[in-house]
Amino acid sequence: MTPARITVFAGHYGSGKTTLAVNYALRLAREGRRAALCDMDIVNPYFRTADYADLLREGGVELISSPYANTNVEMPWIPLESRRVLDDPALWSVIDLGGDDSGAMAIGRFAAALREKNAALWLVVNPCRPLTRDVESLREVRDAIEAAAGLRFTGMVGNANLGQETEMATVLSSLPLLRELSRAMDLPIIFTAVETSLAEEAAGALTPEDGALFPVTRYQKAAWSVWEPKKA
């Protein structure tokens, strides 16, 4: 698939936008493109692309981010540098938005330019999230985001996961629901994102309707991530 020069990841809070944006930007760089990841999250002061600064640098992705991301200064901030995402025709850019319509508002001011440049706007859906697991709720989220962004979605990304407890069954059982959501939203599934360790096994279960398989690495691991010793 030929990527759009600008790809925007939007969706419900906690749908996995940042994880996918990081993975996608790294992939663009691996394919030999000059890639940038632009953090336009004006909602969440935590779990930002800035957490991945080292990883992105090593992977050859330029990070365009607020100097206040992950600090004690809670300041909604659109980096001045984000202008280059629009203006530099040789820069393959990924935009990570904040959740819901409050997050999508950040690109509202760039709507005309993004339309003109045929930017891709993808709706990230994790059907394991309680407020986006049926057509009615997802439609509400989608409509609110489109209204705030002044843009229409061009595709959907399936990202079924339960964090560390994601199993093959989590992925497989979500496929029919994701297809149903895709049809109801009238948005093609561009990618089905699957944890790298499960990707090979999942590949066989995907149909053309599920889009391409997108192996995703969840890089977050914190001091408070507990693996309890298995009971004998």
Partner 1 sequence: MAEKVLMKGNEAVAEAAIQAGCLHYFGYPITPQTEIAAYMAKRMPKINGSFLQAESEIAAINMVLGAAAAGRRAMTSSSSPGVALKSEGLSYLAGCDLPAVVVNIQRGGPGLGGIQPSQADYFHATKGGGHGDFHMIVLAPSGVQEMFDLTGLAFDLADQYRVTSMLLSDGILGQMMEPVDLAAPPPRELPPKSWALTGTKGQRKPNIVNSLYMNPEDLERLVMERYERYAQIAAAETRWEEFLTEDADVVVVAYGALARVAKNAIAAARAQGIRAGLLRPITLWPFPKAALQALAGRAKAFVAAELSMGQMVEDIELAVRCARPVLRCNRTGGMVPTPEEVLQKLEEATA
- The minimum distance between CB 202 and partner 1, in angstroms, equals 18
In the bound state with partner 1, the residue whose beta carbon lies nearer, of 86 and 138, is: 138
Going by the DSSP 8-state scheme, the letter that residue 167 receives in this structure is -
Single out the segment in contact with partner 1 by CB under 8 A; choices: 1-9, 83-91, 158-166, 189-197. Answer: 158-166
Single out the segment in contact with partner 1 by CB under 8 A; choices: 59-67, 157-165, 175-183, 194-202. Answer: 157-165
Name every residue whose Cβ is closer than 8 Å to that of residue 149 and which is 6 or more positions away in sequence. Answer: 10, 104, 105, 107, 108, 111, 121
Q: Which amino acid is at 120?
A: A
- Tell me how many residues contact partner 1 (CB under 8 A): 25
76 part of the interface to partner 1, by CB under 8 A: no
176 part of the interface to partner 1, by CB under 8 A: no
DSSP 5-51: SEEEEEESTTSSHHHHHHHHHHHHHHTT--EEEEEE--S-SSS-GGG
CB 142 within 8 A of CB 123: yes
Distance CA 192, CA 126 (A): 10
164 part of the interface to partner 1, by CB under 8 A: yes
Distance CA 73, CA 117 (A): 33
Burial of residue 111 (number of CB atoms within 10 Å: 0-12, 13-18, 19+): middle
- The minimum distance between CB 220 and partner 1, in angstroms, equals 9
Query: What is the sign of the dihedral through the CA atoms of 78, 79, 84 and 90?
Result: negative
* Binding to partner 1, residues 121-150 (CB under 8 A): 126, 128-131, 133
Backbone angles phi, psi at 22, to 5 degrees: -65, -50
In the bound state with partner 1, the residue whose beta carbon lies nearer, of 2 and 72, is: 72
The correct pick among 228, 230, 231, 232 for binding partner 1 (CB under 8 A) is 228
* Binding to partner 1, residues 32-51 (CB under 8 A): 45-47
In the bound state with partner 1, the residue whose beta carbon lies nearer, of 36 and 145, is: 145
Single out the segment in contact with partner 1 by CB under 8 A; choices: 33-41, 161-169, 181-189, 206-214. Answer: 161-169
Residue 98's SS3 state is coil
226 part of the interface to partner 1, by CB under 8 A: yes
What residues make contact with partner 1 under the rule CB under 8 A? 13-14, 45-47, 72, 74, 126, 128-131, 133, 161-165, 222-226, 228-229
